[in-house]
Amino acid sequence: MMIFIRFLNNKQVEAIQRDASPGADWKAAPADFSWDKRYKLSGNAVTEMTSADLEGEHLASEKNMILETLLHEIQTFLTPSIGNSLAEIQKQTAHVQAATAALEGDEQARTSLTPLADIRGCSVEEVAIQILAQEAEKQRLLILCQAFQDRVALEIPGLETLEALQDYAETFRAQFQAAVGGDSGPPENAHESIEMSTSV
């Protein structure tokens, strides 16, 4: 039986023993093949991966893992801060529209905000201003998080060592937390549920 190797992006992903080639994606292993080693394609030649090759592969894997982790951390912060469901977005839009209309003197909008104003012990105008301030903060966070997501996706590919990658991740996390206010959770009242009349 012969040993055949399948490659992806010119790097070994699988090796099997067969009487004949399993298909066009498989190459015959070299005569000195070892199951303890990894192989690559150099042109049409199958050669052993060097230590530098293996280290580069490990670095690329770590880059992908840290990139996915940092993007997930940003999204985990962002979701409770701005909401992510269609119902939440529609409700937030209705709140902002009601607040804007109330400040412009719309009586129906003012009526819809009155119960919340009564609970908070403030005027309808103050409630409307609070809602608009909360919306402005959500938009600030959204833009900020998008900027951090773009930045990490651009910067991580250029890092050349595992140490640089780990240092980058620690620094990036600290800078992100400082930028969003030093708190891993949403800002106060950033995703508050506001009960309003269905007439809005």
Mean pLDDT of 32-56: 94
Could you tell me the pLDDT band of residue 152, with boundaries at 50, 70 and 90? very high
CA 165 to chain centre: 17
On whether both 64 and 156 belong to a single domain, the answer is yes
On whether both 106 and 124 belong to a single domain, the answer is yes
Q: Which is more confidently placed, 155 or 187?
A: 155
Mean pLDDT of 44-68: 95
The two three-digit tokens of residue 103, written as one number: 């400040």
pLDDT at 185: 43
In order of 10, 77, 144, the CA distances from 71 in angstroms are 28, 10, 13
Strands 45-48 vs 2-8: parallel, antiparallel or unpaired: unpaired
Mean pLDDT of 139-161: 94
Measuring CA to CA, which residue among 152, 162, 142 is closest to residue 78?
142
With a cut of 90, say whether residue 195 has pLDDT above it.
Answer: no
Q: Which is more confidently placed, 99 or 198?
A: 99
On whether both 67 and 164 belong to a single domain, the answer is yes
Q: Where are the alpha helices (DSSP H) in the chain?
A: 51-82, 86-103, 107-120, 124-155, 162-179
Structural domain including 104 reads: 55-179
Could you tell me the pLDDT band of residue 85, with boundaries at 50, 70 and 90? low
CA 156/CA 147 separation, integer angstroms = 14
On whether both 121 and 139 belong to a single domain, the answer is yes
On whether both 59 and 122 belong to a single domain, the answer is yes
Mean pLDDT of 68-93: 81
Could you tell me the pLDDT band of residue 190, with boundaries at 50, 70 and 90? very low
